[in-house]
Amino acid sequence: MKKKLNMLMAALFVITLALVGWAVISGGAEVAISWNLMWGYALLVAAVVSVICAAIKGTITHPAGLKNTLIATAIVIVVVGIALGVALSHKGLVVPNSAGGVFDNPFDLAISETGIIVTYIVAVAAIVVTIAGEVRNALK
């Protein structure tokens, strides 16, 4: 199974390199960029589905870990909820775009700002957990 997964990873990597190479060689042609975006979204969906399936399989095979899974899910929901609340609290926000216009759709702005805020929260949490782990290991 591991060999098949390694072959799949290699194939996905080659496809990604080919698409990025096409975008670079074409000078950023719209069709090449569109294919790169669609490929990126496909990889994102595949990753999310894989994580969800792995979590379900892990919960079924090890029911004792259900409590930790539920806690992690609750934390994710709370973090995304807080980020969405902060994003929706910014009324009348207008962001300029490269074409000289503006992005003024409140839904689009809230979604993109939510993603940015969640990224910041996760980055800070990763740094704090890493530092705390190293300090704990140093004190052992």
- Chain-centroid distance of CA 31 in Å reads 24
Cα 77 from Cα 96, distance rounded (Å): 30
Q: What is the DSSP string of 22-39?
A: HHHHTTS-HHHHHHHHHH
For the whole model, what pTM was predicted?
0.55
For residue range 105-121, what is the model confidence (pLDDT) as tens digits?
777 788 888 889 999 99
If one counts every other C-beta atom within 10 angstroms of the C-beta of residue 98, the result is 5
C-beta separation of 83 from 121 below 8 A:
yes
Which pLDDT value is given to residue 125? 93
Which pLDDT value is given to residue 98? 77
